[in-house]
Amino acid sequence: MIKQFHSGRPPRKGRRHSPHKRQIRWNPSAQTSGDGFDKSRLPRENLKVVPLGGLEEIGRNMCFIEYGDDIIIIDMGLQFPEEGMPGIDYIIPNISYLKEHKDRIRGVIITHAHLDHIGAIPYLIHELGNPTIFTMPLTRAIILRRQEDFKHLPPIDIETIKSDEVLNLGSSFRIEFFHVNHNIPDTIGVAVKTPVGTVVHTADFKFDNNPVGDKPADYAKMAHLSSEGVLLLLSDSTGAERPGHSISEKTIQENLEDIFEHSDGRIIAATFGSLISRIQQLIVLAEKFDRRVAIDGYSMKANVAIGQELGYIKIKKGTLVDIDQISDYPENRQLICCTGAQGESNAVLMRIAQKEHRFIRLEKGDTVIFSSSVVPGNERTVQSLKDIIYRQGANVYHYQMMDIHAGGHAQAEDLKMMINLIRPKFFMPIHGNYFLLKLHANLAESVGIPPENVIIAGNGNIVELTKDKATILKKTIPASYVMVDGLGVGDVGEVVLRDRQMLSQDGIFVIIAIIDSKSGKIIGSPDIISRGFIYLRENQELLKEARHKIREIVEHSSTPEMTLDPDYIKNSLRDKIGQFLFTKTERRPMVLPVIIKV
């Protein structure tokens, strides 16, 4: 099936179309080349591929492809904050360039429904003029469900596609899709056919010939694309440092079944809320061993409801019960599927372990399954959670003990298989830190891609392509972090972040001084407030010296010969008291002077 778009979508009653939504229909009867493009109408310039995130980190995945007057975007994800980013909720891509050229955006392709690929949509899509989003049914449903948390925003424009469809956007892009395996259904790779050549984007993927609740990747479609010739392959690098092949979901199913068979008490299984295929596995096993299932966790309950509605999760009548009713059944007939496998403080599993859950208490003989890998940065919190669970006498199973979780990302041998299937002229690793991109590049060279045809780019690099050459241009596009803090998007910059880091490391030292505007002398004793620096009651001698120093600085800065300048006094106090405190403590708190003239 081929979808043609004149102005975004067929007109609907009462719907107004803006000029930026104009998408020119591909006309097969026009004067075309063999790939179906009207060469007479296209600007004669090179193809550009630009990553805006995901090439120097895990997350924030977004890139765009530009040719002539046409731009398409692939994915629009967020990244979770790093340790040195106190107070930051998310990091999203910088879209400065795209905002300047939003009238040329012909559409947004979303490969699957994980937050590192969809999470930035509510923050960015309207800034770009609300271009049409094209994606698979499950992904569309999860995106729309998430938009309900942003009720202050206008509706988004989102279309459902199928993996066997062809989408024509603008005069430059003919887009095909192919099914790949991942740990969420409806994941698609994208083939963008342009007048210069075909660009293939793998999305997050792995190869699984025995998936549970899914079908194997579409090898035939990939081979067909290869036979037509692929100019550039963009391929997921997340698993590049792991040797061998990915574990099949069938193996995981068998190991989970072994746990169910030998568990005499209650089973509590924690995993990602978006891991729909794993939740389906657990439900199938619960039905096989006559257990009732309670789902707990906001995101998991929402995704299970969507999965049921679309047919990706199948549950027999009577299997599912509310969490407040699960205790009505014997413990050997209970399964609780919940969020919290990463040790999140407010997630369900942590509340159960800390005896803060309204309905569930851990007991000796319970079985707790961590059916997920540990996200980098969460190691300490997960270990602490396991300690709490072990202390209460529960049995714990996790992926390092046995194969009860497989990541959704191809390992080294699968990555080489993808390159051999697609056989691109140029290769560009994506989705990973630099070392992962480099390891993936090495794999590409090991299967015959010439080193000069391997492109290791960074966020904001412009990769320009002709039929015979791929070049990273010297010019770059802004791709710096844009931070989301509460309702603020982009209003927390480096200065604010540096202040937060300083406050988190050495605290704050506030000086409140009342100054006589005529004499320039301090009235009374300066007030001092310390938070995160010293405990005032135990440092009276230091405070006495600090007050004496403050009085000296103020009186020296406001002699009768000088005009009383509060800003000058504040700067003097900030510098000199900061230096004084460092000499006494070897710490540098943030010094905040407050001057009140009377």
DSSP string, 47-68: EEEEEEESSSSSS--EEEEEET
This prediction's pTM = 0.77
Tokens of 369: 């399954």
Question: Minimum mean pLDDT among 206-220, 341-355, 518-532: which range?
Answer: 518-532
In this predicted structure, the answer to whether residue 252 has a pLDDT above a threshold of 80 is: yes
Residue 43 reports pLDDT greater than 50: no
Average pLDDT over residues 558-580: 76
217-249, pLDDT tens digit by residue?
999 999 999 999 999 999 999 999 999 988 887
Query: pLDDT-derived band of residue 345, with 50, 70 and 90 as boundaries?
Result: confident
**Which residue in this structure is represented by tokens 């994506």?**
430
Helix (H, G, I), strand (E, B) or coil at 448: coil
Average confidence (pLDDT) over 419-432: 96
Q: E strand or H helix at 418, and its extent?
A: helix 412-422
- In the predicted model, what is the mean pLDDT of residues 424-428? 98
Region at 60 (left for phi over 0; alpha for psi -120 to 50; beta for the rest): left
Average pLDDT over residues 113-134: 94
Residue 427 token pair: 């290769």
- State residue 167's pLDDT score: 95
Taking the C-alpha atoms of residue 246 and residue 597, their distance in angstroms, rounded to an integer, is 70
Calculate mean pLDDT across residues 192-214.
91
Nearest to 340 by CA among 356, 351, 324, 325: 351
DSSP annotation string for 503-569: HHHH-EEEEEEEE-TTT-PBPS--EEEEESS--GGG-HHHHHHHHHHHHHHHHHHS-TTS---HHHH
- What pLDDT does 88 receive? 66
pLDDT of residue 277: 85
Per residue in 129-179, pLDDT (tens digit) is 999 999 999 999 999 999 998 888 899 999 999 999 999 999 999 999 999
- Give the pLDDT confidence of 82-108 residue by residue, as tens digits: 655 556 678 899 999 999 999 999 999
pLDDT classification of 502: cutoffs 50, 70, 90: low
Range ranked top by mean pLDDT from 72-76, 88-92, 387-391, 499-503: 72-76
pLDDT band at 500 (very low <50, low <70, confident <90, very high): low
Whole-angstrom distance, CA of residue 569 vs CA of residue 594: 10
Q: How confident is the model at residue 1 (pLDDT cuts 50, 70, 90)?
A: low
Place of tokens 């001084």: 513
User: What positions carry a catalytic annotation?
Assistant: 236, 409
The DSSP output letter for 194 is -
| Distance, CA of 4 to CA of 499 (rounded, Å) | 51
Instruction: Give the mean model confidence (pLDDT) for residues 527-556.
Output: 81
According to DSSP, the β-strands at 105-109 and 70-74 are parallel
Q: Check pLDDT > 90 for residue 446.
A: yes
Read off φ and ψ for residue 324, nearest 5 degrees: -80, -5
Average confidence score pLDDT of the chain = 84
What is the percentage of the chain residues whose pLDDT exceeds 70? 84
Band of pLDDT at residue 547, cut at 50, 70 and 90: confident
Give whole-number Cα distances, 152 to 98, 102, 147, 487, in Å.
23, 22, 10, 11
User: What is the pLDDT, as a whole number, of residue 20?
Assistant: 35
Averaged pLDDT, 26-49: 51
563 pLDDT band, cuts 50/70/90, is: low
The pair of three-digit structure tokens given for residue 136, joined into one six-digit string: 């698979």
pLDDT tens sequence across 570-582: 888 888 888 888 8
Q: Rounded mean pLDDT of 246-257? A: 85
Residue 182: partners with Cβ closer than 8 Å, 6 or more residues away = 112, 203, 204, 205, 206, 408
pLDDT at 501: 59
Residues 217 and 199 sit within 8 Å (Cβ to Cβ): no
Mean pLDDT of 181-186: 90
Structure tokens at 492: 């927390």
Which residue type, as a one-letter code, is found at position 524? G
- Give the range among 6-15, 300-309, 449-458 with minimum mean pLDDT: 6-15
Q: Are 551 and 582 in contact (CB under 8 A)?
A: no
What is the average pLDDT across 74-80?
Answer: 92
pLDDT band at 554 (very low <50, low <70, confident <90, very high): confident
- Note whether 81 and 91 are within 8 A (CB): yes
pLDDT at 191 > cutoff 90: yes
